[in-house]
Structure 1
Amino acid sequence: MSEIKVSVIVPVYNVENYLEEALLSLKNQTLTDLEFIIINDGSTDGSSSIIEKVTSGDSRFRVFNVENGGIGKAFNLGVREARGEYIAEFESDDYVALNAYERLYQTAKQFDVDVVRSNWTEFSEKESIVRDILWEYPDNYDKLIDVKNSDIFVQVYPWNAIYRKAMIEKNNIAWDESVKSYGDTGLFWKINISARDMVFIKDPLYFYRQDNPNSTVN
C-alpha cells in the first residue's frame, strides 16, 4: 500500500443492526490509500461476526478486539495505531457518502489545512425522517478559515471531519476516558483550540443516525 492518506477510526459496541451498512460505506470509498481501524470494544452481540464478514481479505481494515473500556479509550487506541496523514472518527451506526473521504482529503490538500468539515444529514428509519444539517455561515463555504482569529462558530461534533494527525500529536489531543467527560464534545473543543485553520464543505457527506438507542456510547 502507498502512503496512507486518511485513517478512519471506528469504535464498535453492540451495533449489529446497523454495522454492515456502516462498514460497507467505508469499504466502497472512492479514495485510495485509506485504512480503517476497527476497535471492537467488547461487543456481546453479533458485531464481531459482521466485522469478520465485511473486512475479511481487505488489508485496509485493521481490527482490534479489546475488553470493553468505553468509546474514549477505543478512540485513543485508534489514534495511536493510525498511520494516515489525516484521521477521522466514524460512528459505527452511521454511514458516509461513497466519496466522503476523497472530498475531505482533496480539500485538505488544496488548502493545506489542519481540519476539513462537511455538513451532514440526520436520519431516522423508524420515523422516516431525513434532514440536512447546514452550517450557519453559508458565505464561508470552501474558504480558508483562520480558526484562532475568527468568531465563526463550528458545530461541536468530531465525526463530520478529518484532522491532520501531526496536529493531534503535537497538541497531545486525546479523548477524556473518565466517566465524567463530555464525550465527543470535549474532544471537539480540544481540536478547535489547537487547530490552525479549517475549511468547511457545503455538501452533506456524513449520515448521522437518530434512532439507535444505544449509539456507540456504552
Structure 2
Amino acid sequence: MAAVDSRPLALVTGASRGIGAAVARALAPTHDLVLGGRDAVALESLAAELDGARAWPVELTDDGSVAAAVAGLDLPRLDVLVHSAGVGLLGTIEETEPDTWRHQFEVNVVAVAGLTRLLLPALRAARGDVVLVNSGSGLTARAGWGSYAASKFALRAFADALRAEEPDLRVTSVHPGRVDTDMQRSVVAHEGGEYDGSKFLRPESVAAAILAAVTAGADAHLPEIVIRPR
C-alpha cells in the first residue's frame, strides 16, 4: 500500500484502542494509515471510520508473520512509524517469574526492533519519523514495576541507538505519565485502588504531542517528549 502522492503514509501499531487509536485519529486528516494490531475486528472498525486507512492485523512477536505482513504491504516509502503496541505487567522482583520478564521484553522491545528493521528501507526513502510510545517508567523505575521499567529503559536505549545510526530519520521517544486506558485500569486494579480516569492523561493529549513531533518543520527534531497529567 503506497502513499498517495499528496498524502504521507503512517503505520501505527497498537491502533485498535487507547493511545494507538487516538494517534490514528489525530493523523487521519493529513495521512493515509496502516493500522497495526492483533484485534482484527477493532482495526477494521477504526479503518472504516477513517478515510485512507487500512487494517493490518498481525502478531508482532511472530517474526515470520511480521516479515510476511511487511512484504505484503509493498511500501516504497513510509513517512511515519508509530510504535504504540505494548504490555505492562507489574510485580516485585521477588514475585516476577522469568517468563514475565521475557514476555515484557519480547513485546515492548524485541518486536519494536524487528518491525523497525524491516521498515528501514521505506523510512529511509521518506526521511521519515519513528515515534516510540514509552512511559514515565522509561525514565524512573519504582518498586513493583521492575520488569516493565526495564523494558521501557531498553526501549529508550533502542531509540537513542536508532537516532545515532540513522541521522536522516527523526526518532522521538514519548514518555507519558498515567493515561486513561484499559492498561491503566489493570494497573489500578493491581494496586488495589479505585479507578478514576479523570486523574489521568487522555489518550488524545498524548496523540496531540505525537502529532506535533511528526508535523514539526523540516529543520526541527523532537528527540524526547515528557507528558504528565496536570
Higher strand share: 1
TM range (shorter): 0.3 to 0.5
Higher helix share: 2
TM-score for the superposition, normalised by structure 1: 0.37
TM-score for the superposition, normalised by structure 2: 0.36
